[in-house]
Amino acid sequence: MPRPPREFYDVDAQTLAERLIGMVLVRATRKGTRLAGRIVETEAYLGPIDRACHTFGGRRTERNATMWGPVGHAYVYFTYGMHHMLNIVCAEPTEGRGGAAVLVRALEPIEGASIMAEQRGVTAPRSLCSGPGKLCQALRIDRALDSMDLVTSDVLWLEFGDRPADWRVIRCTRIGVDNAGAWATRRLRWLVRAHPHVSVRAKSERARPASTTGRRHRT
DNA sequence: ATGACGATTTACT
DNA sequence: GTAAATCGTCATA
C-alpha cells in the first residue's frame, strides 16, 4: 500500500489522531521482514498549550527536540525506566510554533505477529501491541528511531489501510495524564469501540451492569 | 551533583 | 484492586 505524503501530517493533533485510526504502521527488520499493524488507538498532544504535552509552556529540551521539528517525523521517547513511546509529529493549531504530536497507543497486528511475540516474550495476540509500550517492544522501536522521517524512511513508516465497515471510532479522555488539571478531562483519545487490541476500553464501554454471562447486548 | 518523576506494564492480593 | 520494576530526563542547587 502507498504511503501518505507529507501533507497528511500537516494538520493539528486532533485531526491527525482521528486520521491515523485504520492506518498501517510498518517496521522493517534488518533482514527486510515487515512487521505491521493497523492503528486502533491514538492520543492527541496539542502542543505548548497542553499541560500533558512534553512541549507544555514552550519547553524545549534535548529529549523533545523532534517535536519541534518537521511534521511526519517519529518522536520516540523513553519513560518509566523501561518503556518507549511512539509519537508522530504534526502541526500545532494556533501559534504555528510546532510542538504537537499524536501518540500511537495500540495496533492490531497484521504482519509478523510471530516475530512480535518473540520480541515481546508473550504469545497472546491481544497482548502484542495493546499499549504504547507494548507496541514499541513488539516492533523494536526505541530512541534510535527518534526523528525518523515516516515519509522517506525505509525502516519505519505509515501506509494507507482499510477501516472495516463495522468499526466505530469513539473519543474519550487520555490515559495516564490525571495530573494535567483541566487537560486531563479533555476527550483527546481516539479508539475503535470494542476492539480487542486497544489498551484500555473507554469508560462508556466498561461500566456495564453486572451480567454473569458473557452475553452481548446493544448499547 | 542530586532528587523526583513519569503519555506503563506486569505480577500479585 | 495495589505495588514494584527501573533509569533517562529535567529542574534545582
Q: Which tens digit of pLDDT belongs to each residue from A161-219? A: 999 999 999 999 999 999 889 999 999 999 999 999 999 999 888 665 555 444 444 45
Report, in ranges, which bases of strand C sit under 7 Å from a protein C-beta.
Answer: 5-11
Q: Share the mean pLDDT of chain A.
A: 93
CA of A102 to C1' of B9 (A): 21
pLDDT digits (tens, 9 = 90+) for A198-213: 999 998 886 655 554 4
Contact present, A80 and A34 (Cβ < 8 Å)? no
pLDDT in tens, A37-81: 999 999 999 999 999 999 999 999 999 999 999 999 999 999 999
The pLDDT score that the predictor gives to residue A159 is: 98
Nucleotide nearest to A146 (CA to C1'): C8
Q: For strand B, is any atom closer than 7 Å to the CB of A199?
A: yes
Joined together, the cell numbers standing for residue A17 give 489522531
- Strand B lies under 7 A from the Cβ of residue A87: yes
Residue A86 burial (C-beta neighbours within 10 Å; 0-12, 13-18, 19+) = buried
Whole-number pLDDT of residue A98: 78
Strand C contact set, beta carbon < 7 A: A 59, 61-64, 77-82, 143
A87 Cβ partners below 8 Å, 6+ apart?
Answer: A45, A67, A74, A75, A76, A77, A101, A102, A103, A104
pTM of this structure = 0.93
pLDDT at A91: 94
Beta carbons of A80 and A87 less than 8 angstroms apart: no
- Closest nucleotide to A64, Cα to C1': C9
pLDDT value, residue A95: 58
